[in-house]
Structure 1
């Protein structure tokens, strides 16, 4: 059994002070993916015995960034996919393992006024191209904060948020396109009609307590991994960030 975890920690240094290591030890993942690490090389040393660590830092301090901690040493590692802006923002890590590729991403937010929507959509096109190229070689596990609530069931106030960043027809359409190219939203595969399943909540007062949230963190896998899927979960009880961790279990040969 292979257990994977993905978590937008909204600053790993802050999250460590709020119990990150307790959760990390408890969940005992084979592969643990971070987004929005918000640190530079040398700013934090995590003693994660038994894990290889791979970090992609943003050039801008205190911004973006991704990391992967894995028990198994990957066959290869790639940072970014060739888009200049995303390279300096540290948003993508691709690890190759014997049976699959892992792609961990922190997708750009289109921003409140949608000022970055055009960039976001071009990002989606390039990521899709990257995933399809990898999938032609071996199956893909694509995970992270994808910054989109794909369907109305994926956020509490769907009608009032329609057209906002993360809920535009364009962003949702890109997710629909991705799934149509031979990929599965693992959580909805297991729980297609489950409501109230969210991974992000605003820091506004009482929002998380009332579960007024969005599901914008995903594990998406190649169709041919369907029979390998064991379970997908959302650890909404885990605090320390405005996002919560999500998990995926695979049974590989």
Structure 2
């Protein structure tokens, strides 16, 4: 199984902006797709609290054909559109998804930093 992890520093910008940085991020996305990963972990997605918008969903479907995804976004009182994580995994898998809190200080559990996928033989 091939796993890739990337601190994208704004999936939001990568999918919706035409800045130089967003274009570079899309080049990295293209490279990741070429690597045919079974699961892709993204950190610092910076998506809204309610998750991907219709525009994000459209772009995710275009870039990641054959993948399902789950996300966790920052929730108030943590900062808005801060941190956040996403897993994309090939449609042939159906992991159990957990959103654990680890009882850390302040608002860290609300920043959307942890998702756990249970693939049966291992946790990611």
Does the alignment reach a TM-score above 0.5?
yes
Q: Secondary structure at the match of 2:74?
A: coil
Q: Aligned partners of 1:51, 1:57: CA distance in 2, in Å?
A: 19
Pairwise CA RMSD of aligned residues?
A: 1.7
The answer to whether structure 1 residue 81 and structure 2 residue 80 are counterparts is no
What's the CA shift string for 1:179-238, capped at 9, x where partnerless?
Answer: xxxxxxxxxxxxxxxxxxxxxxxxxxxxxxxxxxxxxxxxxxxxxxxxxxxxxxxxxxxx
Q: Aligned partners of 1:100, 1:54: CA distance in 2, in Å?
A: 18
Aligned to 2:81: 62
Shift of 1:35: 0.4
Asked if the contact 2:73–2:81 (Cα under 8 Å) also holds between the matched residues in 1, the reply is no
What's the CA shift string for 1:23-63, capped at 9, x where partnerless?
Answer: 23212100100000001213321112211201010123231
Matches within 5 A, 1:214-229: none
What's the CA shift string for 1:113-135, capped at 9, x where partnerless?
Answer: xxxxxxxxxxxxxxxxxxxxxxx
What TM-score, normalized to structure 2?
A: 0.71
Shift of 1:21: 3.5
The answer to whether structure 1 residue 42 and structure 2 residue 42 are counterparts is no
Give the gaps of 5 or more residues in structure 1.
103-253
Provide the aligned length of Structure 1 versus Structure 2.
100
Shift of 1:73: 1.4
Matches within 5 A, 1:202-241: none
Q: Aligned partners of 2:32, 2:102: CA distance in 1, in Å?
A: 31
Matches within 5 A, 1:1-253: 2-16=1-15, 17-18=22-23, 19=26, 20-40=28-48, 41-43=51-53, 44-45=56-57, 46-47=60-61, 48-59=64-75, 60-71=79-90, 72-74=93-95, 76-83=96-103, 85-102=107-124
Q: Secondary structure at the match of 2:66?
A: coil
Q: Which runs of 4+ in 1 moved over 6 A?
A: none
- Structure number with the bigger relative contact order (C-alpha 8 A, sep ≥ 6) is 2
What's the CA shift string for 1:147-181, capped at 9, x where partnerless?
Answer: xxxxxxxxxxxxxxxxxxxxxxxxxxxxxxxxxxx
Asked if the contact 1:39–1:62 (Cα under 8 Å) also holds between the matched residues in 2, the reply is yes
Note closer, same or farther for the CA distance 1:23–1:61 as it changes in structure 2 (3 Å cut): farther
Structure with max Cα Rg: 1
Asked if the contact 1:95–1:101 (Cα under 8 Å) also holds between the matched residues in 2, the reply is yes
Asked if the contact 1:80–1:86 (Cα under 8 Å) also holds between the matched residues in 2, the reply is no
